[in-house]
Structure 1
Amino acid sequence: MGGPVGSGRDFLGPFFDTDGTDIAFREAAAQRLYREFLDTLGVGVLAGLPVPLVCTFGLSAHTVATRQNWDVHRDRQGAVPDGFLRSRLFADLVRASVRGALAFYDHTAALGLRVLAPLPPQRVPGLSDPRVFFAAQDVVGAELASRNVEIVDLRARVTDGTGLQRPAFCQTDDTIHGNLAFGRLVVSELLDRGL
């Protein structure tokens, strides 16, 4: 789940309700796509999912890293200090920013589902702060790992020395998404993990 059911920013705050075994998306279009997904697999509720769930909820670090969100924390040189990016306050703010996604992963963990979360392309658009992007991504990754979500991390294969996505794996004229070559690597890695 993720891209097929909506934009990444749609799954940061509260976006679903649950009855314990299933969820209901608050957005009608996402709920329709979710039900079609379950129907295709022949199951009625999320708890009955017979295959691993691939999900990217909460991984939109570029949204969390929007520059103006962090202006109050900048030093006189205009940078968000390293100490703040490693602080408990920063981690708490990031967790609050993605609380809806974390609630979803709490639910999948309670159901005992196997969940794989591919990290997004390492692209930081101009409206986002790169240092906040990477620090927020680390916080979210640790939160997902604590919920037994398997992180699919292709960074060593697709980034340069700065940690940013190499052009060979970037969608042309798009500041966020990866291209087909990146997508193929993600699918290959998922297949290698038994999907």
Structure 2
Amino acid sequence: MTRAGAPAHVVVIGVSGAGKTTVARSLADATGRRFADADSFHSSAAKAKMAAGVPLTDDDRWPWLERLRDWMTARAAEGVPTALACSALRRVYRDVLDQADGEVLFVLLDAPRDVLEARVTHRPGHFMPADLLDSQLATLEPPGPGEHVLVLDATRGPEQLARDAVDGLGGPT
């Protein structure tokens, strides 16, 4: 169960290959949060565009981010805390998600390019090709003043990262 005073929403962010889905799912399991992967909120057109190696534009992203924000708000209205895996590479994207009802904590998984490339290259069945990694790294804006972001070293194993994220929330009850 989630701890009293813990954020309503935890959004695990970073570039492709950082481990967002694995960590967010583990965090959800450990804390009783509802898990969602932002990739499942992309339109078919956006997925096809990325699969073709074409980076998304902000025009592609705004409706997607709004769907994610609205999903978190709906869960907050139900009293259900969430764990969301989402790239949210730019501050303006995180600002949209931060508009969800309830407190939002972002957990940035940070790793060197070579680690990320190895993970993306060896990940079967995902629509995100490795050749988009450079555009994601170029887009990534480090957390700035006023952002509620916990930064974790994504070279650590997924189990340890999930424990670090739980610790960053104050631990499970």
Q: Into which bin does the TM-score normalised by the smaller protein fall?
A: 0.3 to 0.5
Compute the TM-score of the two structures, normalised by the length of structure 1. Answer: 0.37
Compute the TM-score of the two structures, normalised by the length of structure 2. Answer: 0.40
Larger Rg: 1
Q: 1 or 2, which has the higher strand percentage? A: 2
